[in-house]
Amino acid sequence: MVILGIDPALTITGFGAIDVRGKTLSLIEAGIIITRASDPTPKRLDKIYQAIIRLIEDTQPSCLVLEKIYAHYRHPATSYVLGQARGVICLACATKNIPLIEYGATRMKKAIVGQGLASKTQVQKMVASILQLKNIPKYTDVTDALALAIAHSYIGKNII
């Protein structure tokens, strides 16, 4: 089973696809989708949408996993912008008829590290260990996306 994890954002969207065979997890592909802040929002959203469509076509995932939105009351605009990026990812899932799964950050961290309040560094190290990566990915967006895919392989067996 292939699971595609996405850490959405308007500037840098992380992605990671893993192959799950029994208890063995292996990395298929991981990286980032970057948009330029100087471009109009519709153009940036289209770039994310087109990239996700290509990822779905290339990896043929059984499902796509996103992190649930967490909005801090001091930064309401952040959730608005994040919601736009998530919206085009949800549209790509609907267009390609791929099940969409969502997990909160604490649920994902608990599945990966064993505690819901784990640090980014702890998540990075566990992702690298689980997937037997020689190096920790440069962008936390990538490890967050991979962590979502891994978490789903652990806790989502009956969802799809």
Residue 67 is among the residues annotated as catalytic for this protein: yes
Q: Tell me: domain 2-155, CATH 3.30.420.10, correct?
A: yes
How many CB atoms within 10 Å of residue 19?
16
Asked if 12 and 145 touch (Cβ cutoff 8 Å), the reply is no
Domain positions in the chain: 2-155
Task: Measure the CA–CA gap between 133 and 154, rounded to whole angstroms.
Answer: 19
Q: What is the dihedral of CA 7, 88, 33, 119, to 10 degrees?
A: -10
Q: Give the active site residue among 57, 58, 102, 141.
A: 141
Flag whether pLDDT at 159 surpasses 60: no
pLDDT of residue 157: 63
Residue 7 β-bridge partners: 14
Range from 39-43, 61-65, 68-72, 136-140 carrying the lowest mean pLDDT = 68-72
Give the burial class of 109: count Cβ atoms within 10 A of its Cβ; 0-12 exposed, 13-18 middle, 19 or more buried: buried
The one catalytic residue among 7, 29, 39, 144: 7
User: What is the arithmetic mean of pLDDT over 16-22?
Assistant: 96
User: How confident is residue 160, by pLDDT bands cut at 50, 70 and 90?
Assistant: very low
Q: What DSSP state is assigned to residue 103?
A: E
- Examine the residue annotation and report whether 144 is marked as an active-site residue of this protein: no
* pTM of the predicted model as reported, rounded to 2 decimal places: 0.93
- Tell me which of 29, 46, 57, 67 is the catalytic residue: 67
141 assigned to active site: yes
